[in-house]
Amino acid sequence: MHIPDGFLDGKTMVATAALSVGGLSLAVRQLRRQLPRRRVPLMGLAAAFVFAAQMLNFPIAGGTSGHLLGSVLIAVLLGPGAAVLVLTAVLIVQCLVFADGGLLALGANLFNMGIVGGVGGYAIYRGVQRLMGGARGVIMGAAFAAWCSATMAAILAAGELAISGTAPWAIVFPAMVNVHLLIGLGEAAVTVLVIVAIQRTRPELIDPSAPASGPLSNRQIAGYGLLISLGLALFVSPFACAWPDGLEKVAAALGFSHRAAIGPAPMANYRLLWIRSAPLGTAIAGAVGTLIVFILAFVVARVVTPKAATESR
């Protein structure tokens, strides 16, 4: 998921960096006002926690193992503003100390995993949690949001790579997204198990109505919403239409067909006709998968929510 250096072109790096700086400054401004002074060290400790948690490997089939990414977990535990700050710190240390994820690609990685994964994931979590209510809603929201955050980050990364002309969308979209549909399931499972474990021992740490970094104001919600939709508009929507002819038509009608020169990827789409259906197939599979995961999250929430937590609410 970490995009290394050398894969993105200039305009993509500048655009993602601008989006990330915008998101980070929103988060810092909110925390400066709302984060109690005694919680400041918690940000550093939470970042170290995410890092340490990522080093614990969960066994999957056949000797392979996966690990937690933690965007949604930390957003559920600390709130969206803190999640952006913590994930920024984690990504900077991973990049500067371990050379994992590029320095110039830091903006892209931060946007995909920190802002879309953290704040976008938190929005989904809160939506589902309000819908369901109570401790069960926390579990279901976290499960669904964790899966969505991995998938969304993969879709954005695919769009960024395609727009940079690194790989054609028809290849990079199915390759990235299909893998992360599965990774998302693991992420959801680990996130839920960890939240259940915390709910059992310290239920007061998870209070969805009062996150540690304070609730979001309407202006902040609008700010994050704008940033995320800008990112989607820039990196995903040029490819999102599965029928290139339609896209072409719209572009011609609006008189900006020269914009097709934005990268070599859309051209490659036409030439490789034999794989043109691959993104459409992935998109349909994704839509069906989303529905299934939503139902799955509901079932999981019914089964694993600790009794004590449901009674106390």
Cα angle: 252, vertex 246, 237; to 5 degrees = 90
Could you tell me the maximum CA-CA distance found in the chain, to the nearest angstrom?
61
Residue 207 engages other proteins in binding (rule: CB under 8 A): no
Give min distance, CB of 308 to other proteins, in A: 15
- Per the rule left: phi > 0, alpha: psi between -120 and 50, beta: everything else, 70 is left
Residue 273 engages other proteins in binding (rule: CB under 8 A): no
Residue 103 engages other proteins in binding (rule: CB under 8 A): yes
Size of the site for other proteins (CB under 8 A): 78
Distance from C-alpha of 189 to C-alpha of 193, rounded to nearest angstrom: 6
Element (H, E) at 66: strand 65-66
Residue 29 or 313 having the CB closest to other proteins: 29
Judged by CB under 8 A, the chain residues 19 through 58 that form the site for other proteins are 24-25, 28, 31-32, 35, 37-49, 51-53, 55-56, 58
Give min distance, CB of 172 to other proteins, in A: 5
Give min distance, CB of 221 to other proteins, in A: 21
Residue 10 engages other proteins in binding (rule: CB under 8 A): yes
Spatial CB neighbours of 261, under 8 Å, sequence gap ≥ 6: none
Of 49, 90, 53, 300, residue with least CA distance to 185:
300
Check if the beta carbon of residue 82 is closer than 8 Å to that of residue 35: yes
Give min distance, CB of 240 to other proteins, in A: 19
Tokens coding 17: 């960096």
Residue 294 engages other proteins in binding (rule: CB under 8 A): no
Residue 167 engages other proteins in binding (rule: CB under 8 A): yes
Of 164, 110, 89, 87, residue with least CA distance to 2:
110
User: Which one of 233, 252, 272, 291 is in contact with other proteins (CB under 8 A)?
Assistant: 272
Q: Stretches 115-123, 188-196, 242-250, 293-301: which one binds other proteins (CB under 8 A)?
A: 188-196
Give min distance, CB of 294 to other proteins, in A: 22
